[in-house]
Structure 1
Amino acid sequence: MRKLYILLVCFLIGISTILHKNNTSSEEERLTIYASLMEEQAIKAVEEFEKETGIKTNFIRRSSGEILEKIRKEKENMKASVWYGGTADTFISAYEEGLIEPYKSPNSYMIPNEYKDENGIWTGIYIGYLGFIANERWLKENNIDMPNCWEDLLKPEFEGNIVLPNPSSSGTAYTIVATIVQLMGEEKGLEFLNKLDKQVVQYTKSGLTPGIVVGLGEAGIGVTFLNNVIRYEKEGYKNIEMVAPKDGTGYEIGAVAILKDAPNMNEAKKFVDWSLTKRAQELGKSVGSYQVLTNYKAASPKEPEFIKDINLIKYDFKWAGKNRKRLIKKFEDMRD
């Protein structure tokens, strides 16, 4: 009887060990991603990545500035492994604070040098151009012309009728701030932003929101990435029009990177490798994402072709990333 009892205990211990190993293996295989691109695209990416690799993956969607703040708080115990989408200059800010683990993917050869960091801090997966969106009905009812340059936004007729994203939470908004400062110089740029603040009726948490607010007629003018406007038109917001400022505009390189001291490093590298492929990048257009793609083999959506020849400034991502905290503080102090 005693021998039987000992055998039973050993058997149960063995089963427990096997179950523990299986659970540990399952936990090790589960990948968490912080995503700053549109939610539908993140859902599709996770679904397809799981199908192709068998790696269980979940994501949390936040604006770029919100993710930066989140990983600052999690620095000593990083919860996610990958940052997927969002403006590259915010990734540079994160790296400056010790929050990014450089990784040169073997697939990065498919991404032109101008769309990736030479040290593997971030790698670009899409490009988006800043521009203006207007409610066409509002313009006609008030007999107002579409703004065509940044200075036009300061005209009296736009007072209280402009909606912008908030630089504290939105990567799109910081791209606006950094564009103005690089275009006009810091002193004149901040002076312009101070004047523009008087015109703004609402600051939104996300860079996606101004287009929706304008499309609904709750504001006359917004500033956002123009690929978002294409999406809103296809979703039924027919009463909108868009333009890129003729005096020059900035742009984003949406990036992917691995977080410093992240769990599941091998799985994180597999996701970054996958995200740079032609197939992964082309998934976006199937769910209403119309950015220009960075993989030279990938076919970008046809819809943004009409904006490819806009007047782009020589946007300095490294400078923008390293000066992000300082410029946002100046912007916030200006508004107080």
Structure 2
Amino acid sequence: MKKLLVLALVVLIAMVSFAKEQILHIYTALDENEWPIYVKAFEQATGIKVQVVRMSSGELLARVEAESKNPQASVWFGGPAIDQIAAKKKGLLAPYRSEAVEKVPAAFKDPDGYWIGIYFGAIAFGSNKEQLKQLGVEAPTSWYDLLKPQFKGRISLAYPYTSGTSYTVLAALVAIMGEDKAFDYWKQLHKQIHHYNTSGSACVTQAGLGEITVGIAFAHDIITKGIDKGYPIVLTFPKEPTGYEIGAMSMIKGAPEPDLAAKFIDWMLSAEAQSLMVKWNRIPINPEAPVAPGAVKMQDVNIVPMDFEYFGAEKDRLIERWKEEIEYGM
């Protein structure tokens, strides 16, 4: 009897130890210097350990799809909702309705609970002021300014199939111009491009270092990785409408740690968590969270209405068209 009790105690201790050692696995599209802000705070607040793999949003979608029969992460954290809508259409996400979701406006969340918005960001231009002066040209304030001869070979952004930022650019141009005209425009823009990146925010540092003159990225990345770093960067927006993202998070279907994933999602919707976004100049969705001085709010810019459901569902087709007509066709 004593041996059975001892054995039972050993098993119980082992089970408790395993539970304590359980780790939440997250895939994130946030900058490698940003995601630790939230993850470390979550670990301190909850005692839950987290392991994170960082990828651009398009790469993250491909990874989740490739692992769909054996998911290796539980949470998709950050990046445009468009990509998570595409994942929903592919059956890669699981619905989760946090109690905190009631604070989020309907336009910033999936009606079926498959994704939830956590921040807003607008597409902008980040230009090197020193190079603008040398070239004798003003910072671009129109999509068509990017086609000026002074900018030939001096612009950078990411591939729209690796980067959620760049796919947002493509989707915005389609929303603004119509699909065929948007592709005709990008064919002209392509001739101005110095190079494409895999990461949407990489062009900001490149513009700051003078490797290029203009980077196309989200305003919060231009401010945080450019202006706040002391680079000679000026932030401008197209006078025509610009595109925007609702940065989102979701639970991956078949999540190996669904309970821990739910706790992370709940926590990220709190004012405590979203107040940390001031460190990256993001606009939090939670109205109780503070906004960084100088951060670009939705009402500050002329944004085009974007049908995220449409652009999520049409992503594969639009990306294939971009590859055929722009990457391989030029």
Structure 1 and Structure 2 fold alike (TM over 0.5): yes
Are 1:100 and 2:93 matched, yes or no? yes
**Identity over aligned pairs, percent:** 36
Are 1:17 and 2:8 matched, yes or no? no
* Structure 1 segment 294-309 matched on structure 2, within 5 A: 294-305=285-296, 308-309=299-300
Distance in 2 between residues matched to 1:173 and 1:289, nearest whole Å? 19
Superposition deviation, residue 20 in structure 1: 3.6
**Which residue of 2 is the match for residue 185 of structure 1?**
178
Q: Deviations over 1:259-313 (max 9, x none)?
A: 001111111111111110111001122xx30111101111111221587421110
Are 1:141 and 2:139 matched, yes or no? no
Q: 1:305 to 1:178 in 2, by over 3 A?
A: closer
Distance in 1 between residues matched to 2:39 and 2:189, nearest whole Å? 39
Are 1:240 and 2:225 matched, yes or no? no
Runs of 4+ in 1 over 6 A off after TM superposition: none
What is the one-letter code of the residue matched to 1:170? S
Q: Is the 8 A contact 1:86 1:254 kept in 2?
A: yes
* Structure 1 segment 178-327 matched on structure 2, within 5 A: 178-231=171-224, 232-237=226-231, 239-285=232-278, 288-305=279-296, 308-327=299-318
Any stretches of 5+ residues in structure 1 without a counterpart? 1-5
Superposition deviation, residue 314 in structure 1: 0.3
Provide the secondary structure at the position in 2 that maps to 1:257: strand
Question: Normalization by structure 2: what TM-score?
Answer: 0.94
What is the one-letter code of the residue matched to 1:236? G
Distance in 2 between residues matched to 1:43 and 1:306, nearest whole Å? 24
Superposition deviation, residue 215 in structure 1: 0.5
**Which residue of 2 is the match for residue 62 of structure 1?**
55
Superposition deviation, residue 109 in structure 1: 1.0
Structure number with larger C-alpha Rg: 1
Q: Is the 8 A contact 1:112 1:296 kept in 2?
A: no
**Which residue of 2 is the match for residue 3 of structure 1?**
none
Provide the secondary structure at the position in 1 that maps to 2:160: coil
* Structure 1 segment 93-132 matched on structure 2, within 5 A: 93-132=86-125
Superposition deviation, residue 23 in structure 1: 4.3
Distance in 2 between residues matched to 1:43 and 1:129, nearest whole Å? 23
Distance in 2 between residues matched to 1:164 and 1:54, nearest whole Å? 38
Q: Is the 8 A contact 1:41 1:284 kept in 2?
A: no
Distance in 2 between residues matched to 1:82 and 1:242, nearest whole Å? 32
Q: Is the 8 A contact 1:115 1:124 kept in 2?
A: yes
Q: Deviations over 1:214-242 (max 9, x none)?
A: 010000111000111111211121x1111
Distance in 2 between residues matched to 1:180 and 1:196, nearest whole Å? 12
Distance in 2 between residues matched to 1:50 and 1:211, nearest whole Å? 30
Q: 1:298 to 1:206 in 2, by over 3 A?
A: same
Distance in 1 between residues matched to 2:297 and 2:287, nearest whole Å? 19
**Which residue of 2 is the match for residue 53 of structure 1?**
46
What is the one-letter code of the residue matched to 1:326? R
Q: Is the 8 A contact 1:134 1:221 kept in 2?
A: yes
Superposition deviation, residue 7 in structure 1: 7.5
What is the one-letter code of the residue matched to 1:44? I
Distance in 2 between residues matched to 1:7 and 1:171, nearest whole Å? 61
Task: Select which of 310, 315, 323 maps to 1:332.
Answer: 323
